[in-house]
A and B are shown apart, each in its own frame.
Chain A
């Protein structure tokens, strides 16, 4: 019985960890995850100190009501309620105040806490942007992890094989007749096909070796295919020809995204700015003070691209050999998926960070989301349409309300009292030809 029970608990723990589908708590960790990703990830990580502290185990460290108050309005909590713990925390972080999140309800906060409670441990050393110093390590950690894992599993396999043989040997010693065949010496497969002493090597090692020889390239190409063709490029952060830092421009200098990505509200493309946009500032800003009187090498690249000579005479500064910058596309949607920035930014009022992550903290831009269809769909299911402030939706809403009033029934899109807000999915956001044509 006990054995059965342990199995059951093992299994449920596993399920809870991986899918969180079985959480019995009334707070929805799924929702918490979304909220966490939308609001917290720019400053917090679960297992790691970023700007704010690592959050794992927060439910043990702090009372949940304390957390609600702190998260919703830490300023009020410190200054009005004068909670000692809050003040201590504030001082611990040298007076760097946490943002105020009054838009989050109490339930929201508890959902986030629930998520933190149940969040799976991130695989150690996985690709994470180290935003503290702003540089992403160009490392081969993952390859090492893979190799280590392969090694560990090989060893485990060998040990298991060993154990099996030992057991069989014990059995054979007890009952030699039955195992006579096994005990008799025989020529192995490798002995037959390999010459000389090569054949005498441990056949299991040889088997593993040959399996590895065959499977490594197969696996490698298989995965490469699935990565490139299925387009799972999460974490893709190529080195760009000019080391443009969003962290500096959007983060520190707080430039509006639309200053450069000017067509984001007008067009399907956010557009990479033309180099003359850079020149608006960098004609003057050359960071010479930082480079011993020299122009910053990255800014020089802009000049080279435009064939611009900062020392040249007014009107003759531009040469005849401009070379456009070949940026490397990071977000590559397949051809058959239609995505329109203006729909999402101007109409849907989504922030850039919703899809692109904390871009203002990225020294090197990386793809933080999978861009797979499931990801789009998940967002469409929860994103609410701003009915009140757009006449297009307002008219729809009024029409629906009138219809509901007339027919005395609720509509699929809107509830009778008009309180339930419309999600993108309800308004056809899951239909194929919204994105595929």
Chain B
């Protein structure tokens, strides 16, 4: 039931027929992997290896192989955690919120955005888990019955809220992604020739027949899940922001964090989606599905959320000054002009100033430029978290405990390694599953025979 205005740009260009769509999208799955895929995958696995080595070093020797110290007890680890969780936001936003608002243009990008969410959340989860001094008893953070006279968890602790928020977010996102995949998996099941492939896709398609009944249920459950995950978009990063906002560290102790973090998350999430899709559409020849129009829309979102984040930065400064609290004032002055000024100004220029170029149409429609800008945005957002965490901790209340902090090789290795995790998953995904939601994309095409 598509009521398409002829005034609107087409969401899918190139006069594709549904069978073209199936052919185009299934090409990487049905054929042997391309050379570029192989190179990319190998690189990702190498980075995955870096992650493994760094993690092994951390687990074998202790958290001491990082450079965090008595005052800055969170460093790259939690920076990376918030960074990845932020990236994980665009997926849900695109799939759920835009679905609820019936934004048709989401159809061609939601699949990869959702996949990205899941992989990003996996990457993110690595850090709160492995930053624990005693990972092996980490399960104590779960409310489990026990023989200690029923020792319970602390429901006051934002870290516990994190546990709930992230696990919920992950499960719902995974479910949403998987449900969306079922019709496409069924298509592959029918196309694929190898026996193993048939079995696997057959298993995962859960007996999808494509009957009207199944479609109706499919639509219903998508809507329900979208409804469920929409509040999660807000809640997860709100809860992550309370990790900081409920503390009393000057620079963390601010009530603006929830909206500001959510905006930042969407900002960085779209940054990541943009950089992935610009590459994917080129490499996989999906220009007709992921059109300039998509990129344009995403750039607009990046610009808006970037500006929101920028306003938040300025508001923080204003509040610090207005509060009259000398510790708060010092913390913010120190961010901008203290020893970590470079981090602060990197953040400002990447997040507030750089996205303003998207006021210009050229900037929004030039893929290579968008790619560069999206990288800039992600760099900026990493710095944002670094600024919040490190510059607040390194100089807090008692000057006697003021310290400097810089990441160790292991910490850098872990961060780079999570890109290994992310891209390894992503490459596998691109190889074995359709990157674009075929069934949905067919529903928004104009020339459907």
Contacts and interface: CB of A to CB of B under 8 A. Distances in A.
Interface of A: 230, 232, 370, 372-378, 430
Contacts of A430: 149
SS class, residues of chain B in contact with chain A = loop
A373 B148 CA distance: 5
Nearest to A370: B147
A163 to B, nearest CB: 25
Nearest to B146: A374
Interface in B282-312: none
Interface in B130-161: 146-151
Contacts of A232: 147
A370 B146 CA distance: 13
Contacts of A378: 149
A377 B148 CA distance: 8
Contacts of A377: 148-149
Contacts of B147: 230, 232, 370, 372-374
20 contacts: A230-B147, A232-B147, A370-B147, A372-B147, A372-B148, A373-B147, A373-B148, A373-B149, A373-B151, A374-B146, A374-B147, A374-B148, A374-B149, A374-B150, A375-B149, A376-B149, A377-B148, A377-B149, A378-B149, A430-B149
A18 to B, nearest CB: 14
Interface in B70-93: none
A170 to B, nearest CB: 24
B343 to A, nearest CB: 39
Interface in B145-201: 146-151
A377 B150 CA distance: 9
A-B interface, 9 closest residue pairs, ranked by CB to CB distance from nearest? A377-B149, A374-B149, A373-B148, A372-B147, A374-B147, A373-B149, A374-B148, A378-B149, A374-B150
Contacts of B151: 373
A376 B148 CA distance: 9
A359 B150 CA distance: 29
Nearest to B150: A374
A170 B146 CA distance: 48
B149 to A, nearest CB: 3
Contacts of A372: 147-148
A430 B148 CA distance: 11
A232 B148 CA distance: 12
B379 to A, nearest CB: 44
A230 B148 CA distance: 11
A288 to B, nearest CB: 49
Contacts, number: 20
Contacts of A375: 149
Interface of B: 146-151
A375 B146 CA distance: 11
Nearest to B149: A377
Nearest to A377: B149
Contacts of B148: 372-374, 377
A378 B149 CA distance: 7
A376 B147 CA distance: 10
Nearest to A380: B149
Nearest to A432: B151
A5 to B, nearest CB: 29
Contacts of B149: 373-378, 430
Nearest to A232: B147
A154 to B, nearest CB: 28
A314 B149 CA distance: 57
A90 to B, nearest CB: 42
A430 B149 CA distance: 9
A226 to B, nearest CB: 11
A286 to B, nearest CB: 46
Given A372-B147, A373-B148, A374-B150, 17 more contacts: A230-B147, A232-B147, A370-B147, A372-B148, A373-B147, A373-B149, A373-B151, A374-B146, A374-B147, A374-B148, A374-B149, A375-B149, A376-B149, A377-B148, A377-B149, A378-B149, A430-B149
Contacts of B150: 374
A227 to B, nearest CB: 13
A230 B147 CA distance: 10
Q: In the complex, which of the residues A230, A377, A378 has the most CB atoms of chain B within 10 Å of its own CB atom?
A: A377
B134 to A, nearest CB: 13
Contacts of A374: 146-150
Residue of B147, B149, B150 with highest tally of chain A CB at under 10 A: B149
Contacts of A230: 147
A369 to B, nearest CB: 12
B144 to A, nearest CB: 13
A375 B148 CA distance: 8
Contacts of A370: 147
B40 to A, nearest CB: 35
Nearest to B151: A373
Interface centre among B146, B147, B150, B151, by most chain A C-beta atoms within 10 angstroms, is B147
A134 to B, nearest CB: 31
A376 B146 CA distance: 14
A148 B61 CA distance: 45
A44 B242 CA distance: 57
B207 to A, nearest CB: 15
B199 to A, nearest CB: 13
B44 to A, nearest CB: 32
Contacts of A376: 149
Interface centre among A232, A373, A375, A378 (most CB of B within 10 A): A373
A372 B145 CA distance: 14
Contacts of A373: 147-149, 151
A8 to B, nearest CB: 24
A372 B146 CA distance: 10
B192 to A, nearest CB: 20
A430 B146 CA distance: 16
Contacts of B146: 374
A289 to B, nearest CB: 49
